Structure 1
Amino acid sequence: MGDSWLWILSVALIVAGLAGTVLPALPGTLLVLAGILLGAWIDDFARVGWGSLAAVGVLAVVAWAADFVAGLLGARRAGASREAILGAALGTVAGIFMGLVGVLFMPLVGAAVGEYVARRDEQRAVRVGFATWLGVMAGLVAKIAISFMMIGIFVVALLV
């Protein structure tokens, strides 16, 4: 009976991790990784071995890097100022408290406001805000895809 509760906890960590790929308040890929590690441990690493865990660990690092780099690349490609990048970061944090809509759109608002403060050019501010938002969304999509890849490796290892 004890293993059943551990499996439930493993699945709960993975599900919370998937939610965390969208909600920045939760460390998404870290929770998915923790759930997978717990699942491997429950099974004494018999079916999910070190090779699978190494692959999942590398994917977790890639997901974190993709999430971080994508927003910066979007901002940099548009020629964003440091204020715009800071504004996007602050907008992301503020968006956490505004629900899903805030999480999705506050980085755009923050980057646009930061760029406007830096250069006083409304058109440029909107362009930089949009480019930064596209980068953040690309990172989000990559993080979700990689999280599902991590889960796929885990499930295949369990079943094979």
Structure 2
Amino acid sequence: MSAVVACFLFGFLGAFLPLLPGALLVWLGILIHKIALGQQSVSWTFFWTATACVGATYGIDALCTIWGARAFGATWRGMVGAMLGLLIGPFLLSPLLGIGIGLGMILGPLFGAVLFEIIGGKDLRGASKAGFGALIGGFFAFFVKIAIIVSIIVAFFMQVGHSTLPGLN
């Protein structure tokens, strides 16, 4: 079951490297284990709970970015700009080999919120506060996703132990 361990390792790394779909790789590891070992693997309740948690990680970026922008005074325009920045930023900066996507995920919401707030009539100071809030929300999402990924991996090993993973005994 080295494929399971590889999925977990790359999934954990994916929390830090935006090129890897971190939570999805962890879920894939659980799926491989479930298919390979059937009843000796995790329970179906665990599997579906992990599936829901993995699905939630993909909405967390959006929700935390909006929350952060709003908490720092963004209007609906700033929140829309932050979301567009979150979606477009990684693509615009992706040519920067390796760091571009991550940089785009950090800077996209910041600049998106600032730009849309300025277009909406806010001064640079107010727009910058909204952009900073979007940035803080993005960092919060990052830590929440890491916590979810680590929790799923720990819960997996607590449920199956390491006896079903040859090479780890």
TM-score band w.r.t. shorter chain: 0.7 to 0.9
Counterpart pick for 2:78 among 81, 84, 90: 84
User: What is the TM-score when the length of structure 1 is the normalising length?
Assistant: 0.79
TM-score (structure 2 length as normaliser): 0.76
Amino acid paired to 2:153? I
Residues 1-160 of structure 1 correspond to what in structure 2 (within 5 A)?
7-92=1-86, 93-95=88-90, 97=94, 98=96, 99=99, 100-159=102-161
Residues 95, 107 of structure 1: 8 Å contact kept: no
Distance 1:57 1:23, change over 3 A: same
* Unpaired segments ≥5 residues, structure 1: 1-6
User: C-alpha distance in 2, partners of 1:135/1:148?
Assistant: 20
Residue 45 of structure 1 aligns to a residue in which SS? helix
Q: Which one is further off, 80-89 or 131-140?
A: 80-89
Q: For the aligned residues, what is the CA RMSD?
A: 2.4
1:26, distance to aligned residue in structure 2 (A): 4.2
Instruction: Flag as ranges the 4+ runs of structure 1 deviating above 4 A.
Output: 23-26
Deviation at 1:25, TM superposition (A): 4.9
* Counterpart-to-counterpart distance in 2, 1:72 and 1:102: 16
- Using the aligned pairs only, state the percent identity: 29
More helix by share: 1
Return 30-39 or 20-29, whichever deviates more.
20-29
Structure 2 gap ranges (5+)? 163-169
Q: Which moved more, 1:86-95 or 1:122-131?
A: 86-95
